[in-house]
Amino acid sequence: MRSLKVGYWPISKNLDAPGDRRRLVFWAKNRGHEIITDITQKVDVIVASENADFRSKIFSGTKTPIVFDLIDSYLCAKNPIDDLVRGSLKRLDSQISSGFQYFTNYIKEFCTISNIVVCSSPEQEIMIKEFNTNTHVILDSHEELPFAEIDLRNRTSRGQIKTILWEGQPATIPGISHIGSVLKSVANNNNLEFSFVTDKEYFRVLNKYFKGKTINLIQKVSGLNDDQFSVTKWSPKELILKSEASYFSIIPIDLTVPLIRFKPENRLLIMWRLGLPCLTSASPAYVRVAKKAGVNAICESPSQWRFKMQQLLDDPELAQTEALKGQAYVREHHSDSLLLKKWDEAIESAMSS
């Protein structure tokens, strides 16, 4: 493919959000394409993120191929009031230039007018195909994080504190509430502490309004004491350092929230890449990937969380085996070369449609 000028309506102005740098920016940088955020300029293809103004005249008046990079599962069924509030707030905030309607309706419309839609999981693809059959499933790149060679059997000595890692955005922290009592009980019985690598502050609405402190949210939903957990500001460097000091990781999520239930498997792949076994809730993506990788990672009830956490704590050989199985899966199914090839195919498909 020749070098392209790619018009991009990004998630973040500085292109530093994970949904920017791990996706289109990763592909363009590695393939030598130029990203232009002023999409009024002449470009070869336009890529629109979820933060685009779907009603912009730029989209309706162009013959340039449009790629919709739809990372999250906004098309899944949700509370209609929340859906309308999200759409209305985006309109009032001028993120969307016309109309007051359900946010999912904006998404459906834009899927229809786009040449192709890129999404993050097969589960999302099923929903999208109703509105655009030219879909491409592409996960995030995690090249900013190394494949760690960890021997968990030598990670801690008997009697030392063991650290359990949680990584992610504050919006997913409420998933801990379903197993808060389990975490507290296991921590009390095993000399544990939990390490949270995330943003120290967050916004409750549209990622820009009503700021809250993450430490207060963790205390509220988990019931953990101050001395049972720590919060570290997310960065690749800090995540690597904290993973090197951890014994295993957890991803409890609230499966009653469709937007979270249908998130892809990126967080699980990151934990495996960093050399840690990981226990997760039974979301469709996690169940699918755990089965393919042959790991016993899925917890469907508080009792399963308790049992499997204790099992890993008591059996370093099992923890090591689970971590190695996860890394083998990532190496085979999630290499940078595979991701770049998928982006090549998606962009070529848009430009030829």
Whether residue 131 contacts residue 112, with contact meaning beta carbons closer than 8 Å, is answered with yes
Q: Return the pLDDT at 155.
A: 67
> From the DSSP assignment, how many helices (H) and strands (E) are in the chain?
15, 14
Q: Return the pLDDT at 280.
A: 98
Q: How far is CA 190 from the centre of its chain?
A: 30
**Bridge partners, 9 (sequence order):** 48
Per-residue pLDDT tens listing for the chain (353 residues): 789 999 999 999 999 999 999 999 999 999 999 999 999 999 999 999 999 999 999 998 889 999 999 999 999 867 788 888 888 888 888 889 888 889 999 999 999 999 999 999 999 999 999 999 999 999 999 999 999 987 887 765 545 678 999 999 999 999 999 999 999 999 988 889 999 999 999 887 666 667 889 999 999 999 899 899 999 999 999 999 999 999 999 999 999 998 899 999 999 999 999 999 999 999 999 999 999 999 999 999 999 999 999 999 999 999 999 999 999 999 999 999 999 999 999 999 999 98
Whether residue 183 contacts residue 175, with contact meaning beta carbons closer than 8 Å, is answered with no
Whether residue 128 contacts residue 111, with contact meaning beta carbons closer than 8 Å, is answered with yes
The tens digit of pLDDT for each residue in 266-298 reads 999 999 999 999 999 999 999 999 999 999 999
Work out the percent of the chain whose per-residue pLDDT is above 70.
96
Does the reported pTM lie above 0.75? yes
Q: Return the pLDDT at 318.
A: 95
Task: Please tell me the distance from the alpha carbon of residue 42 to that of residue 63, in angstroms, as a whole number.
Answer: 11
The sign of the CA dihedral 175, 160, 186, 265 is positive
Task: Please tell me the distance from the alpha carbon of residue 25 to that of residue 27, in angstroms, as a whole number.
Answer: 5
Other C-beta atoms closer than 10 Å to the C-beta of 30 total 15
The amino acid present at 155, given as its one-letter code, is R
The residue written with tokens 């090549």 in the block is 344
Tabulate helix, strand, coil % of the chain (nearest 5). Answer: 45, 15, 35
Around 280, how many Cα atoms within 13 Å sit in the side-chain half-sphere? 34
Tokens of 275: 């050399």
Which domains can be identified in the chain, with CATH numbers? 5-141+335-352 (3.40.50.2000), 152-333 (3.40.50.2000)
Q: Return the pLDDT at 164.
A: 96
**Bridge partners, 249 (sequence order):** 165, 278
